[in-house]
Structure 1
Amino acid sequence: MVAVEMLGSGEWLGAEIRDSDAWKVVLDERHRQEVLDAVRAVEADEIDRNAFPLPALGPVLRRVRDELVGGRGFALIQGVPVGAMSERQCEIAALGLAGHVGAIVPQGPGGEPLMHVRDTGADPSRGQTRSYQHSGRLGYHSDPTDIVALLCLRPAKSGGLSAVVSSVAVHNEVVRTRPDLAEVLYQPWWHDRRTGDGPDSFYTKPICTPRAGGGVSIAYGPDYIRSAQRGACVPPFTPAQEEAMDLLDRLSDDSRFALTMDLREGDMQFLDNHVVLHSRTAYEDHPEPERRRHLLRLWLDAARSDR
């Protein structure tokens, strides 16, 4: 196909919104107390919006959802009272807050409702190591669901900065400057599920896919695309693919496009994976286990909601 610029929501430049607070939602004391009250009232293991009432904060979260799926594609909530809760209560709060934005999508081999993001000492060069298991840098990527949410319980001693970029803006820049490479992004690419060494771990999917009703969805993950090269069934990159990935990585990391945020305790980041790529810098942890970097990751389906 002939790649063209995509107009509409989801296109922004980091340089233009870096000093804006429009993408931030700061919880006030009433909101924080609502979260604590809702957490303490939960009795069942299965948590949805009905089991986690937020009379004042709920409408705010629904506006966040509208911004995710029809606006810039990301938002940062600040002030979730994680310091006043146990780890299990933080899990409940994360699930309850996310349930007002979308439906929880199970993760991992066990179909868990959320994932703990922390350094387990896993070797990032191993074929089955997942990105949430190590402290190394992550390239700009999207997760495989509509929305990803990250609740920060503790930041690292140093590093671990989060960065986001409008994949729509990056796509349009590729179309404008290298239309030949833009067309390559719409062709099948090999990806790695990192479920093993057999053929089931590898599959093909375009990086860019037109969306129904207009726009484009960008499913990119350089770490998992490059690791797919370990598969016996996977052909080596073509020169055009190598060049296209180099261009995507360079543009995503360009300060004109990217927006960096230092997630602190109580910050909850929401991203629309169709129009936003995100990355993380390498980090160094505190030596004490109880002080080490710890985030909770949730995957959400925007078409449904836990209502």
Structure 2
Amino acid sequence: MARVIGGPAAWRGPEIVDSPEWKIELTPEHVEELRVALRGIDQPDRSLRSITRDDFPLPTLASVLAGVQDELVDGRGFVLLRGVPVDELSERQAELMYWGIGLYVGVPIHQKGEDDLLLHIRDMGLDRNDPLVRGFQTSARLDYHADSSDVVGLLCIRPAMRGGVSTIVSAVAVHDEIVRRRPDLAEVLHERWWHDRRSGDGPESFFQCPIFAEEGGKLFAHYGRAYIDSAPRGEGVPDLTAAQVEAMDLLDELDNSPDFVLNMNFAPGDIQFLNNYRIMHARTDYEDYPEPERKRDLIRLWLVLDRDLGLPPDFEAGGITPRSAALSR
């Protein structure tokens, strides 16, 4: 039976919006370490996969980033790291520096194609209603969801002219409220659901995973309504039931409630790290500057953590890259 989980990850936005505890400001010493480490890997033909932590030494920042991982797993489930010196970097240098930082948090995995280890989140002018288009490729609002990795990182190079606000909620807090209000729907959300990877039309594009699952006293979440709504396009995938639709309607209502939401307006050099099993994130729609060089640009990194997270079996294999495959590389 679904039950209230609680704990440090069960926060509500209005209660912590003014807290400095989820923000980490890089010191001048940290920034200089990043500059020095970048010089060691800044070669035009250097591939990302060839760069290891040993190639990107961070004498004092390393312990800060280890603390970031601990906070993601055992704390609130998110961190905002501020002060990466993107204004002085070329696009390639920003990618390399971000890659080096990410190696201290987790193991990067591909996101769309085999070589998409870093993805620029830009408006590509695609149709949001196309079932094979992923929301980050447009400027449209993104509903609350979790990505297909243990951790997602977003480095802000440039914000939009208007909009594009990142909003997050605690999946644990929302889950617990559903248990209190509608325990019957909480049970539905703990059942196995069909999800669509939108990687094609074959059976490999579809998998089953609960929206919420408890394992070892911890809650795990995986949600993206658009990817659930489109799953019945798969052969043998049934239509959603009335109870499933009602459960998602309540989940969406709470996800968007000001009682739960925490808004983040990114500045250049901010990195948002989220635990995808504890945090759901969304984005408001946005309008870009007309000049190409001023358009909104975030760089996304997907990471798996080289530690035992106690994941339910469906969560181990439900992403684009199974965790075991990523960690064995």
For this structure pair, what is the TM-score category when the shorter chain's length is used for normalisation?
A: over 0.9
Structure 1 distance, partners of 2:267, 2:227, is 27
- 2:179 corresponds in structure 1 to 175
Determine whether 1:277 maps to 2:280.
yes
What TM-score do you get using the length of structure 1 for normalisation?
Answer: 0.95
- Give how far 1:173 is off: 0.5
- Correspondence for 1:295 among 286, 294, 298: 298
- Give how far 1:198 is off: 3.3
- The 8 Å contact of residues 175 and 182 in structure 1, kept in 2 or not, is answered as yes
Could you list the runs of 5+ residues in structure 2 that have no partner in the other structure?
A: 308-326
Structure 2 distance, partners of 1:40, 1:88, is 12
- Which AA in structure 2 matches 1:3? A
- Which AA in structure 2 matches 1:225? I
- Which AA in structure 2 matches 1:277? M
- Give how far 1:222 is off: 1.0
- 2:93 corresponds in structure 1 to 89
Q: Could you say what secondary structure the match of 2:20 adopts?
A: coil
- The 8 Å contact of residues 61 and 101 in structure 1, kept in 2 or not, is answered as yes
Structure 2 distance, partners of 1:251, 1:138, is 16
Determine whether 1:236 maps to 2:239.
yes
- 1:125 corresponds in structure 2 to 129
- 1:14 corresponds in structure 2 to 13
Determine whether 1:260 maps to 2:260.
no
Determine whether 1:114 maps to 2:124.
no
Determine whether 1:142 maps to 2:146.
yes
- Give how far 1:181 is off: 0.1
Structure 2 distance, partners of 1:4, 1:185, is 12
- 1:75 corresponds in structure 2 to 79
Once the two structures are overlaid, the 10-residue window that deviates more, 223-232 or 162-171, is 223-232
- The 8 Å contact of residues 48 and 95 in structure 1, kept in 2 or not, is answered as no
Structure 2 distance, partners of 1:239, 1:106, is 35
Determine whether 1:154 maps to 2:153.
no
- Give how far 1:233 is off: 2.9
Structure 2 distance, partners of 1:103, 1:109, is 17
- Which AA in structure 2 matches 1:66? D
- The 8 Å contact of residues 79 and 273 in structure 2, kept in 1 or not, is answered as yes
Structure 2 distance, partners of 1:73, 1:203, is 25
Structure 1 distance, partners of 2:230, 2:252, is 16
- Give how far 1:205 is off: 1.5
- The 8 Å contact of residues 138 and 223 in structure 1, kept in 2 or not, is answered as no
CA deviation digits over 1:108-154, x for unaligned, max 9? 12242211111111111001101221111111111111111000111
Structure 1 distance, partners of 2:296, 2:12, is 29
- Give how far 1:232 is off: 4.5
Q: Could you say what secondary structure the match of 1:50 adopts?
A: helix
- 1:37 corresponds in structure 2 to 36
Structure 2 distance, partners of 1:288, 1:227, is 35
- Correspondence for 2:55 among 35, 51, 55: 51
- The 8 Å contact of residues 6 and 173 in structure 2, kept in 1 or not, is answered as no
Structure 2 distance, partners of 1:9, 1:105, is 28
Q: Could you say what secondary structure the match of 2:237 adopts?
A: coil
Root-mean-square deviation (CA), in Å?
Answer: 1.6
Once the two structures are overlaid, the 10-residue window that deviates more, 188-197 or 177-186, is 188-197
- Give how far 1:95 is off: 0.7
Structure 2 distance, partners of 1:18, 1:256, is 11
How many residues get paired? Answer: 304
- 2:189 corresponds in structure 1 to 185
- The 8 Å contact of residues 69 and 302 in structure 1, kept in 2 or not, is answered as no
Gap change, CA 1:111 and 1:210, over 3 Å in 2: farther
CA deviation digits over 1:186-205, x for unaligned, max 9? 11211111122333322222
- Which AA in structure 1 matches 2:249? D
- Which AA in structure 2 matches 1:297? R
Structure 1 distance, partners of 2:173, 2:52, is 34
Structure 1 distance, partners of 2:117, 2:204, is 24
Structure 2 distance, partners of 1:32, 1:102, is 20
- Give how far 1:266 is off: 0.5
- The 8 Å contact of residues 7 and 215 in structure 1, kept in 2 or not, is answered as no
